[in-house]
Amino acid sequence: MNNNLFNIVKKIISEQGENILNDPKRLKPIVSDYASEEPKEDRVAFGRAIEQGFYSELKKTSPNNRSQIKASMVQRLIAITGFDAKRCASAIDLLDAVISPSAAPKTQNTNVSGSSGTDSQKPQISKRTLLFAIAAFAGAFTGSFVYIQSGLGDNSWNQIVSDGIWSGFTGFGIVFGLVNVQTFYLKKKFYFLSILKYALIGFITGAAGWILGVLLCILIALNFNISEIFFKVICWGIFGFGLGLGVSFYVTNFPKKRAMLAGLIGGLFGGLISYFLPFSSLVGVWLGDAFVGFAIGLMISIVEETLRQAWITVIWGPKETRTIALGQKPVLFGSTQDVDVYLPQTSSSSKNLPVSAVISIENGLVIFEDKVNNRRNIVKNGDKVAIGKLQVEISTK
């Protein structure tokens, strides 16, 4: 919301009386004069909202039901002005704030997508990130243990395929660990076949990534002299690039390009570390692979948490919270295998639904849809909604 415009409107009301908001012809020149330095689009959106009678409509609606009609008003204002959803929602919020002092902004500009105040996430090593790193470490160690690589000294096709299969097992272990941790973290039900499917994607992307890395290094070596460290780090980097793609299929609203970049950085960094580890035995090889997995898991989680623009915090209890990114895919709450947050059904309830609630982003707005009570509301940064016994807080940057 435009704070300055809000204060200007309040000043106009104090001077002209509240009825000025029901007289668009008289209000327009006053706002233009008072708010000449404010963005023209903000003034136009506010003026169109007044002309459509949104102020009177909101004022007649109880505060509890007001959020339900605001979503409709935003869509109508978009159609009238052609402005983006955030600007139109800001105009509706301004009207709501004029009617309800509690809805007025306090210290900084806000909009429907939220502010970057104290709720904004800062880069940090969270509990989830550490779990991801440890799970990837254990998965890589186990996968490498299952299939022993025979070295990188021979560039024959058989050797490349053999190393690719070994990398596939390592990738299988990493993704298997990450998917299990993500399932545990979100308290979802464990479906072994579903987890196995994603782990197999890890096998394929891990094997393909390593083989592509080797072929790329061989191609470079035809024209330049490359060192063993360059060879190994590049191969691990492309291996991580492929694994990032595999992980993105399971982690909700983790863009594939961002996931692959995170995997690439983790693979390069892990490969560099593993090269300098003081181990020459078979156990050293396993540990080297495990440290690569650790770096990939760490980087994937850090990038996912740091760069997401909107997310929800699911609150199970005072000290038990989980975060899920919002994005292209709606976040589903319910009792089926495909939901993002599992809600156990109770036999005593007659309103059990496979999907009980949905939180999504539409035209830049965060929408909460309560399928049990058939309600659909716009929610903003800091808002909390109840879904069954859970509390869910909306956060945006």
Provide the pLDDT confidence category of residue 281 given band limits of 50, 70 and 90. Answer: low
Give the other-Cβ count within 10 Å of 186's Cβ.
17
pLDDT in tens, 10-30: 778 877 777 778 778 778 777
pLDDT at 107 over 90: no
Smallest Cα–Cα separation from 73: which of 377, 291, 394?
377
Is the Cβ–Cβ distance between 397 and 385 less than 8 Å? no
In angstroms, rounded to a whole number, what is the distance separating the alpha carbons of residues 292 and 298?
10
Provide the pLDDT confidence category of residue 309 given band limits of 50, 70 and 90. Answer: confident
What is the average pLDDT across 292-317?
88
What is the average pLDDT across 65-91?
82
In angstroms, rounded to a whole number, what is the distance separating the alpha carbons of residues 22 and 55?
8
pLDDT in tens, 120-163: 444 456 788 899 999 999 998 998 887 654 444 455 777 788 88
Averaged confidence pLDDT in the chain: 81
Which CATH number does 310-396 carry? Answer: 2.60.200.20
- In this prediction, residue 116 carries a pLDDT of 37
Q: Report the Cα 304 to chain-centroid distance in Å.
A: 7
In angstroms, rounded to a whole number, what is the distance separating the alpha carbons of residues 395 and 215?
44
* pTM (global) more than 0.75: no
- In this prediction, residue 155 carries a pLDDT of 52
Q: Which residue has the higher pLDDT, 34 or 287?
A: 287
Please name the helix (run of DSSP H) or strand (run of DSSP E) that holds residue 355, with its range, or none.
Answer: strand 355-362
- In this prediction, residue 1 carries a pLDDT of 63
The dihedral through the CA atoms of 305, 309, 313, 314 has a sign that is negative
Q: Are strands 355-362 and 331-334 parallel, antiparallel or unpaired?
A: antiparallel
pLDDT in tens, 165-189: 888 999 999 999 999 988 888 888 7
Smallest Cα–Cα separation from 212: which of 191, 243, 174?
243
Percent of all residues in the chain with a pLDDT value above 70, rounded to a whole number:
87
Smallest Cα–Cα separation from 267: which of 302, 237, 246, 288?
237
pLDDT at 212 over 70: yes
Residues of the chain with CATH 2.60.200.20: 310-396
- In this prediction, residue 137 carries a pLDDT of 92
What is the average pLDDT across 361-377?
86
Q: What is the DSSP letter of 163?
A: H
pLDDT at 301 over 60: yes
300-325 b/e (C-beta count within 10 Å ≥ 16 → b): bbbbbbebbbbbbebbeeeeeebbbb
